Amino acid sequence: MEQLQLAQLGAGIAIGFGAVGAGLGIGFATKGLMDAVSRQPEVAGKAFVFFLLGAALSEACALYAFVIAFLLLGK
């Protein structure tokens, strides 16, 4: 295969596997939020802030993969 085709294949693989991890992370975070809110509905506001922080932190892993994919495509 050509160099460019290999780079495009690598970019696709990178963003795909990166998205798997971030999706799992945000899913677990949502599960934790649902558990907490269904047990103690009065902590909903405070728990949601921490959920957003955790979701943003785990989403960042997919964005690292996005940056790598973009670097690969730029070559």
Rounded CA-CA distance 51/57 in Å is 10
Q: Structure tokens of 16?
A: 């795909």
Smallest distance, other proteins to C-beta of residue 2, A: 24
Cα-trace Rg, the chain? 17
- Quick one: which of 53, 72, 73, 75 contacts other proteins (CB under 8 A)? 53
User: CB under 8 A: which stretch of 3-11, 19-27, 33-41, 60-68 binds other proteins?
Assistant: 60-68
**Residue 53, CB half-sphere, CA atoms under 13 Å: how many?**
5
Binding residues (CB under 8 A) for other proteins: these are 52-53, 56-57, 59-60, 63-64, 66-67, 70
